Amino acid sequence: MSPARTPEQALDQYLAHLTVERGLSRNTTSAYRRDLARYLRFLDARGVTGVTGVDPACVEAFLVAVRTGDDGAVLSAASAARCLAAVRGWHAFLAAEGDTPTDPARDVRPPARPRRLPHALAVDDVARLLDAAGSGDGPGPLRDRALLELVYSSGARISEAVGLDVDDVDLTGAAPAVRLFGKGRKERVVPVGSYAVAAVDAYLVRARPALAATGRGGPAVFLNTRGDRLSRQSAWAVLRRAADTAGLGEHVSPHTLRHSFATHLLAGGADVRVVQELLGHASVTTTQLYTQVTPDALREVYLTSHPRARG
C-alpha cells in the first residue's frame, strides 16, 4: 500500500466498490462500515497501523474479541460471523487490488451458529393476519392488505416489496407476476396468486391515487400518507399492527410471511429447488433449512401413521 494511503482511505475505497460495483444497499454498506471501523480500532490498539502488517493471528484475535467483548459489545455467533464476513471481504479486495501480498483472513472461519428453524404461521393464522390488515376504512387498510398479501403470495422480503415500482407489477393475463430485486440487485420474477392480485388491484385503483396526490412517491407501488414511498420501517409497523389486531403479536417478525410462504409451499409438495428460486436464495442449503422436521411434526406423523400409536 502506498505510504500516503491510510487504512481508512482503503476502507472508503472498498465501501465505494460495494456500492458501485456490487450494488449493495445503503443499509448493508453502513453495517460493513460499522464492523470494519471496529476492526480498524482493534488493529490500532494492537499497534498495527497498516493493512500490510495484518496476519491471520490478528484476524483470529479480532474474532475472539468480538465474541468475548474484549474490545466492545459482545456479539452473538451470528453477528460475529457477519462481522468476520466484512473483514474477509475487505482483505480479499485488498489482495485482489494488489494492496497486500496475501489475504490474511482467507482461512479464518466464523464461529459455528446454531441452526434454528424459521418461525412460520399456520395457514389459518396467516388468514387472520391478512384479514386484520385490511380492517377499517380509507386508503390505509387497502394498502396494508395489498402489501401483506403480496409478501405472502410472492415470498418477497419486506425491503423488496416496498422497493417495487408500478412497472414491476403485472397483474394482467393468465400469469400475474412481480419483478423483485433482491440482495445485490439480483432480479427475479415471481408468480402472484389470485388473492394478492385482487388485493393489489383494489389498492391501485381505489387507494393509491389518493395517496399519490399528496406527495412525490413517483413510480413506487406502496405509498405512505404523505404520498412518498413507504419505508421498510413503516412496512414493519403495518405488519406489527395487523399482528396485534389478529392476536399474533409475539409470533410475528419482518420475515414471518416469507418464512410462512416457503414452509407452506414445501408442505404442499413443492420442490426445494423451486422454492429456492422463488425466494432468491443463492444456495439451496439456505432453503433446505425449511425442510427440517420439527418434533411436533414428527410426533403428528407418527400418531397418524403408526398402527399401534393410539389406544
Q: Which residues are catalytic?
A: 157, 183, 255, 258, 281, 290
* CA pair distance 195, 109, nearest whole angstrom: 45
* CA pair distance 157, 150, nearest whole angstrom: 10
Residues recorded for the chain: 311
Helix, strand, coil distribution of the chain in percent, nearest 5: 60, 5, 35
DSSP 102: S
Which grid coordinates belong to 147?
402489501
Ramachandran region, residue 248 (left: φ > 0; alpha: ψ -120 to 50; beta: rest): alpha
- In terms of Cβ atoms closer than 10 Å to its own Cβ (0-12, 13-18, 19+), residue 105 is buried
Put the strands of the sheet holding 177-181 in their side by side order.
169-170, 177-181, 187-191
Q: Are 227 and 211 in contact (CB under 8 A)?
A: yes
Of 28, 29, 90, residue with least CA distance to 58: 90
* CA pair distance 198, 192, nearest whole angstrom: 10
Q: Are 156 and 169 in contact (CB under 8 A)?
A: no
* CA pair distance 214, 139, nearest whole angstrom: 12
* CA pair distance 167, 188, nearest whole angstrom: 14
Beta bridge partners of 179: 189
